[in-house]
């Protein structure tokens, strides 16, 4: 029987690190850091692993990959898009450690047959399904609402690790977009993760008559769409009246950090999680920033859909607190498994 041990990723927004023991193999599902600055998984007692799977290139899922040698230097499996993004986050793996997975379809983790599908959360982001021993499905971060990032419905699985980032939230992205557009004034910066919501945000805001300015990373993620949008690479290129969509790599010297330091006093709107002690939290405390929702994780109705289509017997709610999802916990009580080990 497959056994899941959660080293990190339960009870709130904590870095992802899940050890799956299945078919005689020990597979680590993601190895993140943050989003709270400096927060890393406690891997005491984990020992060597046979493989690491990276679901997508966001820091809370890949940021502790520098611990790879401590885990026995196992092969690491991810999409090529994810591997190529690691240096943008200041992360590096030797080429011989990196084993490419497709965006969808059958694949192998070493000698284990698996299948993968697009998660709708980030470019290159995928879920992982292992058919052995009743089936295990690791969703990573996922969404069914993106206009640009496809989502592939997953197969059935007894054990499913899902993304509880939004708890019981059920508001649709289609409602959030016009509210965000109405709140934006000239001189506003919209920080976004790399490979995530930036391109979709540019497309949707442009459709509402705004003309956002994008950084080179978001320009690349648009993949040729909206060619007339202006691109700025430095703070000095941005005009006082611009609305700037900028990739936040959480590294000193990137465009977001330079705009924070710019004496012109830009306003910031954050559309994702704001971690305690982060620069975003500091800007909000100073009155220089505000928050608006933009769905990139599943709503409560999506969780109910996932439980139904997978036929899950064990549903592990990751990346959120069960206390923020009382309705879901009640509706899915028969399969809800918020403990550190499962089953």
Q: Do 87 and 160 reside in the same domain of the chain?
A: yes
In the structure, what pLDDT confidence band is assigned to residue 254 with cuts at 50, 70 and 90? very high
Q: Do 262 and 301 reside in the same domain of the chain?
A: no
Produce one character per residue of 240-266: b if its CB has 16 or more CB atoms within 10 Å, e if not.
Answer: eebbbbbbbbbeeebbbbebbeeeeeb
Please state, rounded to an integer, the average pLDDT across all residues of the chain: 97
Average pLDDT over residues 70-87: 98
HSE-CB of 49 using CA atoms within 13 angstroms:
30
pLDDT of residue 32: 98
Q: 142, 61 in Cβ contact below 8 A?
A: no
pLDDT of residue 106: 99
Which stretch of DSSP H or E encloses residue 130?
strand 126-130
Rounded to whole angstroms, the Cα distance separating 191 from 206 reads 17
Write the pLDDT tens digit of every residue in 109-125: 999 999 999 999 999 99
Instruction: Look at the chain and report how many structural domains it folds into.
Output: 2
Q: Do 46 and 132 reside in the same domain of the chain?
A: yes
Domain, as residue range, for 270:
173-291
Q: Do 220 and 128 reside in the same domain of the chain?
A: no
Q: Do 302 and 285 reside in the same domain of the chain?
A: no
Q: Do 269 and 209 reside in the same domain of the chain?
A: yes
Does residue 343 lie within any of the structural domains? Answer: no
- The alpha helices in 126-221, defined as continuous H runs, are 173-183, 198-207, 216-221
Length of the chain: 343
Taking the CB of residue 296, how many other CB atoms lie within 10 A of it?
Answer: 28
Q: Do 144 and 179 reside in the same domain of the chain?
A: no
Beta strands in 231-273 (DSSP E): 243-247, 267-270
What is the phi-psi region of residue 308: left when phi exceeds 0, alpha when psi lies from -120 to 50, beta otherwise? alpha
Q: Do 162 and 227 reside in the same domain of the chain?
A: no
Does residue 221 lie within any of the structural domains? Answer: yes
């Amino acid at each position: 029987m497959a056994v899941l041990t959660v080293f990190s990723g339960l009870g709130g927004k904590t870095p992802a690190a899940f050890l799956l023991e299945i078919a005689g193999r020990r597979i680590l599902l993601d190895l993140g850091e943050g989003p709270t600055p400096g927060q890393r998984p406690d891997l005491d007692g984990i020992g060597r692993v046979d493989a690491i799977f990276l679901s997508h290139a966001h820091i809370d899922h890949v940021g502790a990959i520098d611990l790879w040698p401590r885990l026995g230097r196992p092969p690491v499996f991810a999409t090529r898009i994810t591997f190529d993004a690691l240096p943008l986050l200041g992360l590096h793996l030797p080429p011989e450690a990196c084993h490419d997975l497709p965006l969808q379809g059958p694949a192998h983790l070493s000698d284990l047959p698996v299948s993968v599908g697009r998660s709708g959360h980030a470019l290159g982001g995928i879920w992982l399904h292992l058919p052995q021993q009743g089936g295990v499905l690791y969703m990573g971060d996922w969404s069914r609402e993106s206009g640009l990032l496809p989502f592939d419905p997953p197969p059935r699985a007894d054990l499913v690790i899902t993304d509880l980032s939004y708890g019981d939230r059920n508001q649709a992205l289609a409602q959030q977009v016009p509210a965000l557009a109405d709140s934006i004034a000239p001189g506003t910066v919209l920080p976004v993760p790399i490979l995530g919501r930036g391109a979709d945000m540019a497309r949707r805001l442009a459709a509402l008559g705004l003309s956002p300015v994008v950084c080179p990373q978001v320009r690349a993620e648009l993949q040729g769409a909206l060619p007339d949008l202006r691109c700025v690479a430095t703070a000095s290129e941005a005009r006082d009246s611009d609305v700037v969509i900028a990739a936040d790599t959480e590294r000193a010297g990137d465009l977001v950090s330079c705009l924070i330091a710019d004496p012109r006093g830009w306003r910031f709107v954050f559309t994702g999680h704001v971690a305690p002690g982060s620069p975003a939290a500091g800007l909000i405390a100073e009155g220089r920033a505000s928050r608006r929702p933009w769905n990139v994780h599943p709503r409560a109705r999506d969780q109910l859909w996932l439980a139904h289509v997978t036929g899950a017997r064990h549903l592990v709610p990751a990346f959120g607190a069960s206390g923020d999802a009382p309705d879901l916990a009640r509706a899915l009580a028969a399969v809800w498994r918020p403990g550190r080990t499962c089953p």
